Amino acid sequence: MTTTLEKLERLDEPILIDELSWREFKVVEQLLSRPGVRLSFLDGVLEIRRMPGEKHETIKERIGSLLDLYLLQMGIDYQPTGSMTLESPSGLVKREADKSYKLGANREFPDLAVEVVVTSGGINKLEAYKRLKIPEVWFWENGRLRLYSLGDDGYAEVDRSQVMPQYGLLKTEQVVN
């Protein structure tokens, strides 16, 4: 059975295609570059996902607004980088966070990535962010934020933000809906 992009628009779960080289992925990426489709890649697996719906976007924007207000109020030098494309050919990874932030000046990659999980499946997002060396990743799922901090052995769940510890931002029991 052939899966067309029109069928993809009706799916909530991602389509996964494995055993691609980085070069093959970059060719497919050019072919599938169109509005409404988001591509991620990790270890030879291409994830094709339709763009998120209203619930996802509403939650993402609320979290972003709260973070922006907080960072401004605390006087933290930051740059909101949205869902910019992050990739590492040597790490065989490409990923776009739902929201991301550079904290401080002259940063190549974001210090914080935020993911809103409404549907399941797909590539291992924490592994992708680990290869991109993103210090902290927040996942919103089922009304709860979970914070993960990158250490020597990969990510570990934490109860407070590690990239902003002096400000005591966000304990994991706080809920954002």
Band of pLDDT at residue 172, cut at 50, 70 and 90 = very low
Band of pLDDT at residue 174, cut at 50, 70 and 90 = very low
Distance between CA atoms of residues 172 and 95, nearest Å = 24
Percentage of the chain with pLDDT > 90? 47
The per-residue pLDDT for 168 is: 53
pLDDT 10s digits, 23-58: 999 999 888 888 778 888 999 999 888 877 788 889
The CATH number of 54-167 is which of 3.90.1570.20, 3.40.50.300, 3.40.50.620, 3.40.50.150?
3.90.1570.20
pTM > 0.75: yes
Nearest one of 104, 62, 64 to 83, comparing CA atoms:
64
Distance between CA atoms of residues 5 and 15, nearest Å = 10
Domain ranges of the chain: 5-50, 54-167
Only one residue has tokens 């680990």, namely: 130
The per-residue pLDDT for 167 is: 52
Distance between CA atoms of residues 33 and 40, nearest Å = 12
Q: What Å distances lie between residue 27 and 21, 30, 46, 91, 123, CA to CA? A: 10, 5, 12, 18, 19
Band of pLDDT at residue 8, cut at 50, 70 and 90 = very low
The per-residue pLDDT for 175 is: 47
Nearest one of 166, 173, 161 to 67, comparing CA atoms:
161
pLDDT 10s digits, 100-126: 999 988 888 999 999 998 877 788 999
